[in-house]
Amino acid sequence: MPEGDPDEADGDPPVTDVPDESRFVLRQGHAVAELVYELEGARLALIHTGVPEELAGRGIGGRLVEAALDRARRDGLTVVPVCPFARRWLHHHAQAAAGVDIDWRGVPGP
């Protein structure tokens, strides 16, 4: 993100998509939160959300899921929330997924 990003100015580090590693990451100091995904065709499967203890309770897991929703919107992808955290978050924040196709039943194959 460009220098002077409003999130960074407020002390909130940005969420970055790292396609080569199939994950969204947020780094703060030495701590790294992540949302691991699998992209298969037009399906973005959210596999695992991990937020270290020192970053817990700040809504970072939700920010990671929102970043995945933004990518799905931009690229016309269907989101498959395999990760239990992502499933719960999406159920509680349905408005955040407006305009995104969510496949609640689909689970990627082996």
Instruction: Classify residue 72 by burial, with Cβ atoms within 10 Å: 0-12, 13-18, 19+.
Output: buried
Distance linking the first and last C-alpha atoms of the chain: 35
Domain formed by 6-102, architecture: 3-Layer(aba) Sandwich (3.40)
Residues, the chain: 110
Residue 103 has pLDDT above 90, yes or no: yes
Q: How do beta strands 43-50 and 78-81 pair?
A: parallel
What was the pLDDT predicted at 69?
98
Model confidence at 12, pLDDT cuts 50, 70, 90, reads: confident
Strand order in the sheet with 15-18: 15-18, 23-28, 31-40, 43-50, 78-81, 101-102
Span 56-98, pLDDT tens digits: 999 999 999 999 999 999 999 999 999 999 999 999 999 999 9
